[in-house]
């Protein structure tokens, strides 16, 4: 199966303010999301018919497709200067581990990317982001996911989710389907 250069993101944004440990995403939802990753890119084909008929067909397909959905937010957060998983993070990652055990995702490997906000030095944040990624990877392997399917990488302050570099939304882990 050709994956090309596209990657799908599972953004694991860590909020320490969650009141309950009920997961936002259920494992079946996660499986369905990533199982659809095989349909990468725009479909290519030939439309047989008049110009109006072809335009009508493409509008129908666009209307039926998910509205630009390229990531799946699980809404979990790391505390400031922490790589520890709280109860909510564990519940979310437990659902993700269940999804990865599903036969429909058995051929997928993931890159776990850890991120920080701008608090701290660049060097310190690179280490903290690596510890966050390793914390998630360790949780998944402890829950039966083969370590060979998960690569943990620290990204530091790169690619913030929020324009405010100190926003807690930037303290996160994103999981991407590993592409060839």
Average pLDDT, the chain: 75
Buried residues in 58-69 as b, exposed as e (16+ CB within 10 A): eeeeeeeeeeee
- Torsion of the alpha carbons at 128, 134, 140 and 142, rounded to the nearest 10: -120
DSSP state of 167: -
Give the whole-angstrom CA distance, residue 170 versus residue 150.
22
Strand ranges (E), the chain? 9-13, 110-114, 150-154, 172-177
Question: 160, 108 in Cβ contact below 8 A?
Answer: no
Question: 177, 37 in Cβ contact below 8 A?
Answer: yes
Give the whole-angstrom CA distance, residue 10 versus residue 75.
10
Question: 171, 116 in Cβ contact below 8 A?
Answer: yes
CATH level 3 topology of 69-178: 60s Ribosomal Protein L30; Chain: A; (3.30.1330)
> What is the band of 119 on the pLDDT scale with cuts at 50, 70, 90?
very high
Reading phi first (left if > 0) and then psi (alpha if -120 to 50, else beta), residue 100 is in alpha
pLDDT, residue 180, reads: 57
Highest mean pLDDT among 65-69, 106-110, 111-115, 117-121: 117-121
123 vs 55, higher pLDDT: 123
Residues pairing with 150 in the sheet = 110
* Domains of the chain, residue spans: 69-178
Q: Which residues have CB under 8 Å from 60's CB, separation 6+?
A: none
Give the whole-angstrom CA distance, residue 79 versus residue 85.
9
pLDDT, residue 56, reads: 61
pLDDT > 80? residue 88: yes
Question: 108, 145 in Cβ contact below 8 A?
Answer: no
């Amino acid at each position: 199966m050709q994956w090309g250069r596209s990657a799908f993101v599972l953004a694991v944004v860590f909020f320490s303010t969650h009141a309950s440990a009920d997961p936002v995403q259920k494992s079946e939802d996660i499986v369905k999301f990533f199982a659809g990753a095989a349909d990468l890119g725009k479909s290519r084909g030939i439309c047989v018919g008049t110009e109006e008929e072809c335009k009508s067909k493409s509008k129908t397909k666009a209307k039926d497709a998910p509205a630009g959905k390229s990531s799946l937010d699980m809404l979990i957060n790391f505390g400031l200067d922490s790589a520890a998983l709280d109860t909510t993070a564990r519940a979310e990652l437990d659902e993700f581990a269940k999804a990865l055990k599903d036969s429909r995702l058995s051929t997928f490997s993931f890159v776990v990317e850890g991120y920080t906000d701008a608090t701290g030095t660049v060097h310190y944040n690179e280490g903290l982001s690596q510890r966050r990624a390793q914390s998630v990877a360790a949780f998944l392997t402890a829950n039966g996911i083969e370590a060979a399917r998960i690569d943990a990488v620290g990204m530091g302050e790169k690619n913030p989710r929020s324009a405010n570099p100190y926003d807690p939304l930037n303290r996160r882990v994103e999981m991407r389907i590993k592409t060839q």
